[in-house]
Amino acid sequence: MKMRAVVIALAIVAAVGGIAGCNDDQVPAGAPGATAPTTVATAPGAPGTAVATTLPTRDDANVDARDFAQGDQFYFQSPSGNIMCGFINTGGIGVGCQLAQVTSVPAELPGCGYAENKKVAAEIFNGAPRFRCLSQGMFVGSPTDGSNKGGGKILRYGETIIVRGTACTSMESGVRCDTGGRGFVVAAEAQSLF
């Protein structure tokens, strides 16, 4: 009887402590629907641009990555078709995006982007973001719409896909990919690393 009273008292203390630890618009850590805290920092070279510095949670994805799979790789393209991205699981390559057309080229890639065989790209390689000038469709998936244009399935504006802990979000202003707070944002008008 004494043991039962102790167990009930502990349950009451735990319940009160859990309720006291949150207000009306918070979910206790570890509860269903809870997400990891996000620390925000300003990206270097992009005043006022906030980026998350923690890994995305599974709850941040609003599409099923399996719908974008081509074998053991995952590919998507922006609704405009100008940005094509892939999650590559071979050769140490992680995630990357390349642009079909650009109006601005990163200073790190002078002469890239204006010729058919020189495409501006950004990738996360071994956890660090970097720019690349590509001569082939490295991050371009196979056609999925019956046409000959590669790129993979369209990731609509506002959609986020997460593969192996790396998140990419399609926005009207471009595509943002990150893992552990490091990543890139690419668009025809501008590209940046953080």
**194 residues of the chain, pLDDT tens digit each:** 444 443 344 333 333 333 333 333 333 333 333 333 333 333 333 433 444 445 555 667 899 999 999 999 999 999 999 999 999 977 767 899 999 999 999 999 998 988 888 999 999 988 899 999 998 888 998 887 767 677 899 999 999 999 988 999 999 999 999 998 899 999 999 999 99
d(CA 44, CA 54): 17
Give the DSSP letter string of 150-191: -S-EE--TT-EEEETTEEEEEETTEEEEEETTEEEEE-SS-E
**Can you give the pTM of this predicted structure?**
0.69
The set of residues, in sequence order, having a beta carbon less than 8 Å from that of 136 and lying 6+ positions away, is 117
d(CA 27, CA 47): 32
**Which phi and psi (to 5°) does residue 68 adopt?**
-110, 5
- The answer to whether 151 touches 77, Cβ cutoff 8 Å, is yes
Q: Which residues pair with 185 in a beta bridge?
A: 176, 192
> How many CB atoms lie under 10 A from the CB of residue 180?
14
Residue 55 CB burial class (10 angstroms; 0-12, 13-18, ≥19): middle
